[in-house]
Amino acid sequence: MQPTIAVIAPGAMGSGVARRLAEHGAAVPTLLDGRSAATVARARAAGMQAADEAAVAAADIILSIVPPAEALGLAGRLAPALRAAPRKPVYVDCNAVNVATVQAVATIVAPTGAGFADGGIIGGPPVPGGSGPVLYLAGPDAARLGVLRDLGLRLQVLDGPVGAASALKMSYAGITKGLTGLAAAMILGAERNGAGPALHAELAASQPQLLARFGKGLPDMYAKAYRWVAEMREIADFLGPDDPARLIYEGMAGLYERLAADMAGEKRDIAALDAFLDTDKADAAA
Amino acid sequence: MQPTIAVIAPGAMGSGVARRLAEHGAAVPTLLDGRSAATVARARAAGMQAADEAAVAAADIILSIVPPAEALGLAGRLAPALRAAPRKPVYVDCNAVNVATVQAVATIVAPTGAGFADGGIIGGPPVPGGSGPVLYLAGPDAARLGVLRDLGLRLQVLDGPVGAASALKMSYAGITKGLTGLAAAMILGAERNGAGPALHAELAASQPQLLARFGKGLPDMYAKAYRWVAEMREIADFLGPDDPARLIYEGMAGLYERLAADMAGEKRDIAALDAFLDTDKADAAA
């Protein structure tokens, strides 16, 4: 029988995952009411089918792939249909949310009788010909999700409770997206104080791997900064109220908020970052 | 005539720089009153001579190499002797301080008639046989410091005003010491949530350069964390009150404060970081 894997919603990651599943023979229902024409078109192109909550709840597996702030809301929206479903799916929260949030989602899903797994996606959306991101899974029902491997996804099942996959996602993103934030903050600070070319030259001399990383990572970030704001706040909450390092990620959220506004507006910070990356290091020091 | 280069104080960096200068034939006076027997012994071993403020002010060049919080105080302490000195030295603030602080030091030194340069040291203390750190210099009097090159120091003179060398130092340290802070915060967060081995495995697979860096950078940091607290606060001030990213470095200061206390006490966080670095990545995921 054809496996049915509901994927909500058809964003960049969701539609990429859906296309991979559909190409491997899965039916991929999703929720499209109230979405823009562009989103509906992207979902269709990925092989997804418009469905209502009952049809989503009738799937074998439901993958929740939404912005962090919508993770709890989606579970609440689907809970009545999950409770009514005669055959219960496994609900997988794949979102970049902190451990407490994914535990709260699990608490919403549990009384419906559906299975539940904690998921964390590391890597960019699947692209044709590429291997795609890794979907980390944790929790007792993670072992029931092996069909996703047959459907073209890369799975890693962690030996840990619900929360372990989200903790991995938080800590990995906190390092990689955090490093991009440090670079943006310090390059802009150096440029404001006339030290941009000297910073470029010193990094080229003593930190060439980091400089090469920034040359790709900063431009890749510009269009995603708006999405990273909420993710940085999730990482701050992941660390909890007693960890002094949570302030680091509150600052990151503020930085990405500013960069997102700049990207949508005057692009002055973006231009300064681009100018830094284009610096001819020979100009830096006399 | 033998050049005289005063170096204050004989900390790890100051005594390393002093030894390099003394080995190249300089007289290296310093201030030792009120210092511990260990510090006095370290100064002697580096070839430094105990001196009073007047003897320091009689040097050709004065290198201020002190903890960030002492940069302004040292200038104030030496100002009367500099004013009284018949032949004026060039005072070089080499400290990890923000642009406004080094400008304030310059404002204290200016009325004494002494020259002034902004300095920033990138790299660890000189060690025998090694090339040593780079001393970046900025400001109009930086050109008068070429003798330091003849005395074995690596100089880079920036084409910028007083503040440019400090801005370089702040932005470089904000990236490199900031990255070590991100790693510590996220590894400890992952370990608290059972995701430490999985984070190690994912970094080994997708970020091997970063993981290798952490393997050296984290243990190197433990004993220095107490010094980095003030440096992180200087970086926050370097960004200024309107930059949302300043919060990142306030969080870094809090993190390093906690790690310094742990290093001086129970070493629980230190043990968790060491355990992570020792992780056998084969154990990480099933």
pLDDT in tens, B72-104: 999 999 999 999 999 999 999 999 999 999 999
pLDDT, tens digit (0-9, with 9 covering 90-100), for A14-23: 999 999 999 9
Q: What residue in A sits closest to B248 (Cα-Cα)?
A: A248
Q: What residue in B sits closest to A99 (Cα-Cα)?
A: B193
Binned at pLDDT 50, 70 and 90, residue B239 comes out as: very high
The mean pLDDT value for B250-259 works out to 98
Q: Which DSSP state fits A126?
A: P
B chain contacts of residue A164, beta-carbon cutoff 8 Å:
193-195, 198
Last residue of a domain, one of A138, A160, A182: A160
The mean pLDDT value for B130-152 works out to 95
> Mind telling me how many Å the CA of A265 is from chain B's nearest CA?
17
pLDDT, tens digit (0-9, with 9 covering 90-100), for A47-67: 999 999 999 999 999 999 999
Q: What is the pLDDT of residue B280?
A: 53
pLDDT, tens digit (0-9, with 9 covering 90-100), for B60-76: 999 999 999 999 999 99
Please indicate whether, in this complex, the C-beta atoms of B195 and A167 are within 8 angstroms of each other: yes
Q: In the beta sheet, which residues pair with residue A229? A: none
Residue A283 pLDDT exceeds 70: no
B202 near A CB under 8 A: yes
Q: Are residues B17 and B62 in the same domain?
A: yes
The mean pLDDT value for B193-222 works out to 96
Q: Which of B182, B187, B209, B235 to mutate to test the interface with A (most CBs of A within 10 A)?
A: B182
Q: Are residues A103 and A177 in the same domain?
A: no
Please indicate whether, in this complex, the C-beta atoms of A193 and B156 are within 8 angstroms of each other: no
Q: Are residues B122 and B61 in the same domain?
A: yes
Q: Are residues A155 and A182 in the same domain?
A: no
A130 near B CB under 8 A: no
Q: Are residues A78 and A98 in the same domain?
A: yes
The mean pLDDT value for B146-167 works out to 96
Q: Are residues A222 and A194 in the same domain?
A: yes
CA distance linking residue A31 with residue A48, whole number of Å: 10
Q: Are residues A9 and A150 in the same domain?
A: yes
Q: Are residues A199 and A239 in the same domain?
A: yes
Last residue of a domain, one of A160, A178, A193: A160
B163 near A CB under 8 A: yes
Q: Which amino acid is at A158?
A: L
For residue B225, the Cα-to-chain-centroid distance in whole angstroms is 12
Last residue of a domain, one of A160, A185, A219: A160
Q: Are residues A122 and A21 in the same domain?
A: yes
Please indicate whether, in this complex, the C-beta atoms of B175 and A168 are within 8 angstroms of each other: no
Residue A277 pLDDT exceeds 50: yes
Binned at pLDDT 50, 70 and 90, residue B1 comes out as: confident
Q: What is the domain count for chain A? A: 2
B257 near A CB under 8 A: yes
Nearest to A245 among B165, B195, B255 (CB): B255
Q: Are A92 and A115 in contact (CB under 8 A)?
A: no
B chain contacts of residue A203, beta-carbon cutoff 8 Å:
172, 175
Q: What residue in A sits closest to B166 (Cα-Cα)?
A: A195
| CATH of residue A114 | 3.40.50.720
CA distance linking residue A16 with residue B116, whole number of Å: 59
CA distance from start to end of chain A: 71
Q: What is the pLDDT of residue A1?
A: 79
Residue A181 pLDDT exceeds 60: yes
pLDDT, tens digit (0-9, with 9 covering 90-100), for A197-239: 999 999 999 999 999 999 999 999 999 999 999 999 999 999 9
A chain contacts of residue B254, beta-carbon cutoff 8 Å:
244-245, 247
Q: Are residues A13 and A153 in the same domain?
A: yes
Residue B284 pLDDT exceeds 60: no
Q: Are residues B184 and B81 in the same domain?
A: no
Domain containing residue B122 = 5-160
CA distance linking residue B253 with residue B249, whole number of Å: 6
Q: Are residues A236 and A263 in the same domain?
A: yes
Which residues are CB-contacts of A235 (< 8 A; sequence separation ≥ 6)?
A: A98, A170, A173, A174, A178, A249, A252
Binned at pLDDT 50, 70 and 90, residue A286 comes out as: very low
A chain contacts of residue B149, beta-carbon cutoff 8 Å:
none
B residues 213-252 closer than 8 Å to A (CB): 238-239, 243-252
Which contiguous run of DSSP H or E holds residue A116?
A: strand A115-122
Residue B283 pLDDT exceeds 80: no
Q: Are strands B90-93 and B61-64 parallel, antiparallel or unpaired?
A: parallel
Size of interface A-B (CB pairs under 8 A): 209
Please indicate whether, in this complex, the C-beta atoms of A248 and B182 are within 8 angstroms of each other: yes
Residue A285 pLDDT exceeds 70: no
Nearest to B251 among A156, A207, A246 (CB): A246
> Mind telling me how many Å the CA of B128 is from chain A's nearest CA?
20
Mean of the per-residue pLDDT values of chain B: 95
Could you give the C-alpha distances from A47 to A2, A18, A101, A248, in angstroms and in order? 14, 7, 30, 41
The mean pLDDT value for A24-41 works out to 95
Residue A284 pLDDT exceeds 80: no
B chain contacts of residue A209, beta-carbon cutoff 8 Å:
209
Binned at pLDDT 50, 70 and 90, residue B133 comes out as: very high
